[in-house]
């Protein structure tokens, strides 16, 4: 065989080996992409499950909070009534004490302006 032909065969063999190694690497890259996609699906499912769990807990806590607030809301009407009756009693007592103030040194009051 001539050296030129031999070099051509060697170059062809090297090219084939490099192509095969590239295809093998490409397969590994594709395999990594498949593994990454599966891992992404697993993580997404895990995330959805936790969202569902958190939503259920939030709904339960919201219901409990609402029930507790309703009890306080019912008690608020009683407290509100007591507050307004106490306030009106204080207002009436203050008005009565003001009306009974003695008029000293000729003080006069313009009643319509009150």
Domain positions in the chain are 3-99
| 10: three-class secondary structure by DSSP | helix
pLDDT given at position 46: 96
pTM of structure:
0.41
pLDDT in tens, 31-83: 788 888 899 999 999 999 999 999 999 999 999 999 989 888 888 888 888 89
- Which of residues 103 and 80 earns the better pLDDT score? 80
| 109: three-class secondary structure by DSSP | coil
- Rounded to 5°, angle at Cα 84 from 69 and 102: 160
């Amino acid at each position: 065989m001539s050296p030129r032909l031999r070099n051509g065969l060697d170059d062809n063999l090297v090219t084939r080996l490099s192509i095969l190694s590239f295809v093998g690497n490409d397969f590994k890259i594709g395999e990594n992409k498949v593994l990454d996609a599966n891992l992404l699906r697993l993580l997404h499912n895990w995330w959805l499950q936790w969202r569902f769990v958190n939503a259920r807990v939030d709904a339960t806590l919201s219901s409990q909070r609402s029930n507790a607030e309703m009890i306080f809301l019912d008690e608020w009407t009683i407290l509100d009534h007591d507050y307004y009756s106490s306030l009106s009693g204080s207002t009436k007592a203050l008005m009565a004490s003001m009306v009974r103030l003695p008029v000293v040194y000729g003080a006069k009051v313009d009643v319509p302006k009150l």
